[in-house]
Amino acid sequence: MAKPIKDVQDAITAIVLAGGESSRMGQDKALLTIGNHILLSQICMIARECTSRVYVVTPWIEKYQEILPTGCELIREKLLSPRNNSNTPLIGFIQGLRLVNTEWVLLLACDLPQLHSSQVKQWSKSLASVLPTEVALLPTHPKGWEPLCGFYRRDCLPLLEVYLAEGGQSFQRWLAQHPVRELPVSDRNCLFNCNTPEDLASLEK
């Protein structure tokens, strides 16, 4: 049976992932200016409005340290392969999750330009419905789950560590192995990922 959460904001730590190479965009997505805000800064402000603590996990903290809102902490992501310039998102999440003390984690990608804090606050009310056996509360996607915009239990870390040690690196494959609660999303535009120059152009219109 799910249990109520007395103070939702204090029960959540946010992890923002900013470790991708942005190869399809051709420039760093985190530093894109959309409207009046740098994208990474915008996502961090959303997270800060919804949670008590925000970690930004990235191998390149020097690039971002001047643009983060107050109350956000940069965590240097360790690259597991010297041949690669970035890890998979799951690896970055694991490294950030090791620092978390709260019951829940809000995981956000840095490329969600149409997300708003009011939506996230509304979603957090659904945490009370998540069963103890369920590892996450996530929106669905045609190919499975939306792993980079939703909530995870901190206690799922041992399961992730075992999966990584066995060579797993895919969020979708890991989530397929465990019970997950669906997060209802009425306006799916908020899940739009800005991955390519065409995506960026569509926003600027």
Cross-strand pairs, 168 = none
Burial 51-83 (b: 16+ CB within 10 A, else e): bebbbbbbbbbeebeeebbeebebbebeeeeee
What is the mean pLDDT for each group of 10 consecutive residues in the chain (205 residues)? 62 93 82 90 96 94 93 92 77 96 96 94 95 97 92 97 94 96 92 86 78
pLDDT of residue 51: 94
pLDDT of residue 61: 93
pLDDT of residue 12: 97
Q: Which DSSP string corresponds to 75-132?
A: EEPPPS-TT-SS--HHHHHHHHHTT--SSEEEEEES--TT--HHHHHHHHGGGGG--T
The rounded distance, in Å, linking the Cα atoms of 157 and 200 is: 34
* Contact between 19 and 75 (Cβ < 8 Å): no
Q: What is the pTM of this model?
A: 0.93
Architecture of domain 9-204: Alpha-Beta Complex (3.90)
Q: Is 105 exposed, middle or buried (0-12, 13-18, 19+ CB in 10 A)?
A: buried
pLDDT of residue 143: 84
pLDDT of residue 174: 97
